Structure 1
Amino acid sequence: MAIKKLSIINQPEIGKLIRELRIEMELTQEQFAALLGVVYPTVNRWENGRSQPSPLALQQIQRMLQELGERGNELLQQYAAEN
């Protein structure tokens, strides 16, 4: 259910969600990119609304949100509600 919600969030909300998740995890854009197997400019483009994550990246981001437990659910609900 949550993966479906994440996949329907549009820009710029997905970029905001990614930024909030990264900050919550206390990671730089470079560190976050490394966890996802992408390069820093990719994360920067996501956060600035210039591109959207691939379906595979969305799955990985969803897993990160799930690992945060209740806080991850709060973030997801916040940005899904703005859509």
Structure 2
Amino acid sequence: MSIKKPLVIDQPKVGKLIRELRLLTGLTQEQFAAVLGVTYPTVNRWENGRAKPSPLGMQKIEQKLYEMGEQGEELLNKYLIN
């Protein structure tokens, strides 16, 4: 059993990744927050760079990216720190 390494993304890029993911899924901030199990103001703060998702929040975002298949993988690679 391998331990999965958490995503590492620069703070300014996290908000851009979240906004782009949300727009690709066609969700409002309110709808996206409901999908992730967080509040609307939380998603708003993430997108505006005023807060960074918790490790659990990042896991949920990563899960959404993988659910999107190739499109999600491309988006992840665009923002991931190598």
Common fold by TM > 0.5: yes
1:1-83 matched pairs, under 5 angstroms: 4=5, 7-80=7-80
User: Aligned AA for 1:35?
Assistant: V
Normalised by the length of structure 2, the TM-score is 0.89
Q: Which runs of 4+ in 1 moved over 6 A?
A: none
More RCO (CA 8 Å, sep 6+): 1
**Unaligned stretches of 5+ in structure 2?**
none
**Could you give the per-residue CA deviations for residues 23-80 of structure 1, whole angstroms, max 9, x where no partner exists?**
0000000000011111101000000000000111111111100000000010011112
User: Aligned AA for 1:31?
Assistant: Q
Distance 1:41 1:64 in 2: 19
Normalised by the length of structure 1, the TM-score is 0.88
Distance 1:11 1:24 in 2: 20
Determine which structure has more spread, i.e. the larger CA radius of gyration. Answer: 2
Q: Percent identity?
A: 63
Distance 1:15 1:43 in 2: 9
Distance 2:19 2:65 in 1: 12
1:12 partner SS = helix
Q: Over the residues paired in the alignment, what is the CA RMSD in angstroms?
A: 1.6
